[in-house]
Amino acid sequence: MVKVVTRAELQSCGAWKRAFQNRCKNHRYYEIVEETLEGDFEHHYLLLEDQAATIRAIQPVFLVRQNLVEGVPGKIRSVVDVIRKILPRFLTVRVLMVGFAAGTGDLGACGEKDESWVAQALQASLRTYARQSSASLVVLKDFPANYRSALETFPSNGYARIPSMPMTRLALHYENWDEYFRTLSKAT
């Protein structure tokens, strides 16, 4: 069974703290990002229960209206902007994103061995939730390769796996911000 809840409803839920306890981004990180990105995204949480009404996972999701002409320059963009004065949602799509708005996604399993169960429960519920939310597209956002085995049945059930841009790292060889700042010139 799936229940859609808000962060406020999760505050008294013990499973909320367990869902991400072994991750770098625990429940508090999700709370901070939701507060920070307020207005840009519609944050919700899927409370996934088994048949015994035991909470097995809490999966963060968010809804966003994606601009399909973002980055398109010139005349085309000008025409779209004029049309959007009358039809503000022209060439946009409402997207249900599963995961995390500011980084890689994680399955919110409460138990270490529950990831496959969570993936199956999500697969059984995401389309219905997307329809209820008027989302035209469902995206499992930036889930790392270690989730591939848990998520392996998604492609055979109408989902496509599209590799994202690789994670990058930039080595900054400075002791702190002040040291870095001293190296800057007017040209930079």
Q: What is the tens place of the pLDDT at every residue in 48-62?
A: 999 999 999 999 999
Find the mean pLDDT for residues 29-50.
88
**Helices within the chain (DSSP H only):** 7-10, 14-19, 27-36, 74-86, 115-132, 148-151, 177-182
Domain ranges, ordered by start, for the chain: 2-182
Tell me what pLDDT residue 80 has: 94
Q: Is the pLDDT of residue 154 over 90?
A: yes
Query: What count of other Cβ atoms lies within 10 Å of the Cβ of residue 15?
Result: 18
Sequence-distant (≥ 6) Cβ neighbours of residue 116 within 8 angstroms: 149, 150
pTM: 0.82
79 or 171, greater pLDDT: 79
| E strand segments, 50-179 | 55-67, 92-98, 137-140
Q: What is the tens place of the pLDDT at every residue in 95-139?
A: 999 998 888 889 999 988 899 999 999 999 999 999 999 999 999
**Domain 2-182, CATH homologous superfamily name and number:** Gcn5-related N-acetyltransferase (GNAT) (3.40.630.30)
